[in-house]
Structure 1
Amino acid sequence: MTKPIIAVDMDDTICHLVKRAIYHNNISYPSHPLQYEEMVHWDTTHLRHPESTHEVFYGRPGLFEELELYDEYVVEELSKINEAYDLIIVTAAEPKTVLEKWNWLQKHMPFITLEQFITCKRKNLLAFDLLIDDGPHNLIPAFESGRKVIRIPHPWNKQQLEHYGFPQMSSWKDAKLYIDELLQPQGLHI
């Protein structure tokens, strides 16, 4: 029997990218500080300092290796999900950040194998049963194609996604149980 495929994003889903990028932005441009709550757009066109481009904001060497875990539950829950399902980590990456992202995964979640690590910006092209992500550009196409999704809430996805009513997780606590419930056929109870 084939296990359902659970696709999980990395940045701002299992680790905090935007918060760390803001930290470095505010050190580099103290006259133009940013707050997490102000990040209401997924892209960086609204950054305040003219020199803080998308490339500068997300392009700091080593940035992806210094990210903090999303919360204290994420490693244990992803380990449980990995045992019960066919787990893939799907992350958008620039060529220069692929190794940083892989190193981060191996440091925090060494149970993730190379075969489970996929770099891909257009996640809707992949086959999966459930996507856990923060990006509206990933969640909406997956949902519209009939696949299940879980939204990780952030300021940049709140406005666009409120009307979809996506299931969401603001913590990884009991994530495996939540996924079990979402993937359970209607009318059946375990």
Structure 2
Amino acid sequence: MQRLIVDMDGVLADVYSQFRKFETDELGAVQPDRDLLGKTEREAYKNVRVYVNSPGFFLNAPVMPGSVGVMEQLNRNYELFIVSSAMEFPLSLYEKYQWLQQHFPFLSWQQIVLCGSKQVIAGDIMLDDHFKNLDHFKGKTILFSQPHNMLKDPGSHTRVKDWREVAHLLLPH
């Protein structure tokens, strides 16, 4: 059975919706989507570090549409692991675990890897929204489209725009 590594933030959890919510709560306005294209989260949101260190940021992030059903199927067809960088924001450790338990209860605690660098992770396939995580990976790589990566050529990575495309690419037809 192939080992599939799936990122959490920006792939399973809609952190951009959270950034928009926090920005609206703080500033009373939201940037147009077109203004986010090609910018890192830190470039796009002035107070991103405040947001991600706020209680509830990770715990209350919306689920990416279509991800739960596809993940249930992937869990039956792959040795599936959720791998999420969490050490930079220590508050996120507990919130990310709780979020996964709430939205993906079919995953066991043994399938959750909360880490610092993903460079130590090995598997056959990695699904992530950041080039920094995909570029070093030795297996097949799938780039999940998010505003920060939309203006970049995916290079050797296969780009998907949503969970319907993930299903088409990774599940039997």
Q: Which of residues 147, 157, 162 in structure 2 aligns to 1:155?
A: 147
Q: Percent identity?
A: 22
SS at match of 2:159: coil
Q: Tell me, what secondary structure is at the counterpart of 1:112?
A: coil
Any conservation in 1 of the 2:23–2:45 contact (CA below 8 Å)?
A: no
Q: Normalized against structure 2, the TM-score is what?
A: 0.87
**Would the aligned equivalents of 1:8 and 1:133 in 2 still touch at CA under 8 Å?**
yes
Q: Cα distance 1:46–1:21, how it changes in 2: closer, same or farther (>3 A)?
A: closer
Partner of 1:111: 106
| Cα offset, 1:35, TM superposition | 3.5
Report the 3-state secondary structure (helix = DSSP H, G, I; strand = E; otherwise coil) of the residue aligned with 2:150: helix
Within-5 A mapping of 1:38-187: 38-39=35-36, 40-48=38-46, 52=47, 54-71=48-65, 73-93=66-86, 94-142=89-137, 145=138, 147-160=139-152, 162=153, 164-173=155-164, 175-180=166-171
**1:56 to partner: Cα distance:** 0.8
The higher radius of gyration belongs to 1
Q: Shift of residue 177 of structure 1? A: 4.3
Residue type of the alignment partner of 1:82: N
**Count of paired positions:** 170
In the alignment, structure 1 segments of 5+ residues that lack a partner are 182-189
Displacement of 1:36 after TM fit? 3.7
TM-align CA RMSD: 2.1
- 1:174–1:26 distance in 2 versus 1, CA, 3 Å: closer
1:35 corresponds in structure 2 to: 32
CA contact (8 A) 2:3 2:80 kept: yes
The 8 Å contact of residues 143 and 154 in structure 2, kept in 1 or not, is answered as: no
Whole-angstrom CA distance in 1 between matches of 2:56 and 2:45: 21
Instruction: Give 3-state SS (helix, strand or coil) of 1:69's partner.
Output: coil
Corresponding letter in the other structure for 1:166: H
* Moved beyond 4 Å, runs of 4+: none
TM-score calculated relative to the size of structure 1? 0.80
**TM-superposed deviation, 1:106:** 0.8
Checking the alignment, whether the CA contact within 8 Å between 1:22 and 1:36 is kept in structure 2 is no
User: 1:125 Cα deviation (Å)?
Assistant: 1.3
Inter-partner Cα distance in structure 1 for 2:168 and 2:43: 38
Contact 1:5/1:129, CA 8 A, preserved across alignment: yes
**Structure 2: gaps spanning 5 or more residues:** none
Whether contact under 8 Å (1:22, 1:35) holds in the other structure is no
Is the CA contact 1:77–1:174 (under 8 Å) kept in the aligned structure 2?
no
Work out the CA distance in 2 between the residues paired with 1:157 and 1:172. Answer: 17
CA contact (8 A) 1:79 1:111 kept: yes
Report the alpha carbon displacement of residue 133 of structure 1 after superposing the two structures with TM. 0.6
